[in-house]
């Protein structure tokens, strides 16, 4: 493991081979509109911000990568100032620290490497509506807008609301649009938080003739929740749902390790599972109702649709 970090091999033939693999992955995503639509959605939501770029990159950016660029990135970022090491499971902390010191001895003493802090800039958001054509039988829809950051006080109330709206099979949108109306096989709502912003999104797949009807039902459900508010019993169910997923997640050692590493890398402190569960329990109905009006105003929501080419208009 340590050799991969300390002595990586950037052989031209290996880079060439890996670029071919990633190119095939880009093609695979393009063939799956249920995945590809999120690339389009992030592009318009974050509008030129680094979060708007696809993780895989593009064919053009991939071709521009070479051994020099990769080596420069490695030297700039893979050093003690830019590395977080997390471990979970039956670990002897002292032995692990000694192992890290012994294996990283060469770069721990180097002074010529430094990582400049990346400036945190707020995404420049403007409401947009886009339709993209693709060879797909179903129409894929994303509706949403900016969310909150990882340090925002809205973090837990917003997660609870998206769970109520479309986070499970008992959620509002799943029940109304799929179970009652039979208009969509897949529909969900979620939110993702980053250090410098976030995103809220509602996804649905439906037939071309049902696009307007599905979107109208989504907007009406949000409007009704704004008017009536979230019932206390529904919030209680959402809390148990999210807490259950968190507890199940830490049963997996790899998930626990990644949670610790992510918290060390981007958060100011590392919360215990009990602390996280307590923060969820402390969320009030009032806080959840406030985030509905703050993040789900219809006049601020962008929409992206992927549909097959046709002479008629979407209905």
Q: 179-201, pLDDT tens digit by residue?
A: 999 999 999 999 999 988 899 99
Exposure b/e, 199-217, CB count within 10 A at least 16 = b? bbbbbbbbebebbeebbeb
How far apart, in whole angstroms, are the C-alpha atoms of residue 145 and residue 295? 7
> Quick one: pLDDT at residue 186?
95
How far apart, in whole angstroms, are the C-alpha atoms of residue 115 and residue 126? 32
What mean pLDDT is reported for the chain? Answer: 88
How far apart, in whole angstroms, are the C-alpha atoms of residue 78 and residue 237? 43
How far apart, in whole angstroms, are the C-alpha atoms of residue 76 and residue 32? 35
Q: The CATH number of the domain where 237 resides is what? A: 3.30.830.10
The token duo for 298 is 């219809």
Question: DSSP character for 141?
Answer: E
Contacts of 11 (CB under 8 A, 6+ apart): none
- For residues 100 and 138, membership in a common domain is answered with no
pLDDT tens-digit map of 33-71: 999 999 999 999 988 888 899 999 999 999 889 899 998
> Quick one: pLDDT at residue 315?
55
How far apart, in whole angstroms, are the C-alpha atoms of residue 56 and residue 28? 11
- For residues 163 and 225, membership in a common domain is answered with yes
State whether residue 103 is helix, strand or coil: helix
* pTM of structure: 0.88
Residue 276, Ramachandran bin (φ over 0: left; ψ between -120 and 50: alpha; else beta): alpha
> Quick one: pLDDT at residue 47?
86
**Residue that wins the pLDDT comparison between 269 and 208:** 208
Q: Tokens 């708007």 identify what position?
A: 52
Answer yes or no: are the C-beta atoms of 116 and 290 closer than 8 Å: no
Torsion of CA 96, 97, 103, 109, to 10 degrees: 170
How far apart, in whole angstroms, are the C-alpha atoms of residue 224 and residue 40? 28
- Inside any domain, residue 42: no
- For residues 93 and 144, membership in a common domain is answered with no
- For residues 302 and 187, membership in a common domain is answered with yes
Which has the minimum average pLDDT: 52-66, 108-122, 159-173?
108-122
The token duo for 185 is 């096989």
- For residues 133 and 53, membership in a common domain is answered with no
The token duo for 247 is 């507890």
- For residues 289 and 258, membership in a common domain is answered with yes
Domain extent at residue 18: 2-31+48-108
């Amino acid at each position: 493991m340590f050799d991969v970090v300390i002595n990586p091999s950037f052989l031209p033939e290996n880079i060439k081979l890996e670029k071919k693999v990633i190119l095939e992955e880009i093609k695979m995503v393009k063939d799956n509109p249920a995945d590809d639509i999120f690339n389009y959605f992030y592009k318009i939501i974050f509008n030129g911000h680094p979060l708007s770029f696809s993780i895989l990159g593009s064919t053009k950016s991939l071709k521009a990568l070479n051994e020099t660029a990769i080596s420069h990135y490695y030297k700039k970022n893979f050093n003690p100032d830019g590395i977080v090491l997390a471990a979970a499971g039956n670990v002897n902390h002292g032995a692990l620290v000694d192992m890290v010191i012994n294996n990283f001895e060469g770069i721990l003493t180097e002074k010529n490497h430094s990582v400049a802090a990346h400036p945190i800039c707020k995404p420049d958001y403007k409401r947009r509506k886009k339709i993209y054509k693709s060879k797909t039988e179903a129409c894929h829809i994303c509706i949403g807008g900016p969310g909150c950051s990882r340090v925002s006080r809205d973090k837990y109330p917003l997660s609870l609301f998206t769970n109520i709206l479309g986070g499970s099979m008992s959620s509002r949108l799943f029940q109304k649009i799929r179970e009652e109306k039979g208009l969509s096989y897949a529909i969900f709502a979620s939110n993702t938080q980053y250090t410098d912003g976030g995103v809220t999104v509602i996804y649905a797949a439906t037939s071309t003739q049902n696009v307007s009807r599905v979107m109208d039902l989504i907007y009406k459900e949000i409007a009704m929740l704004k008017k009536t508010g979230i019932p206390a019993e529904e919030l209680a169910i959402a809390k148990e749902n999210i807490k259950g997923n968190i507890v199940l997640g830490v049963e997996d050692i790899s998930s626990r390790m990644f949670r610790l590493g992510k918290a060390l890398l981007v958060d100011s402190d590392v919360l215990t599972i009990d602390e996280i569960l307590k923060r969820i329990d402390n969320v009030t109905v009032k806080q959840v109702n406030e985030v509905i009006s703050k993040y789900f105003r219809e006049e601020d929501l962008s929409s992206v649709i992927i549909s097959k080419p046709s002479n008629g208009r979407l209905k």
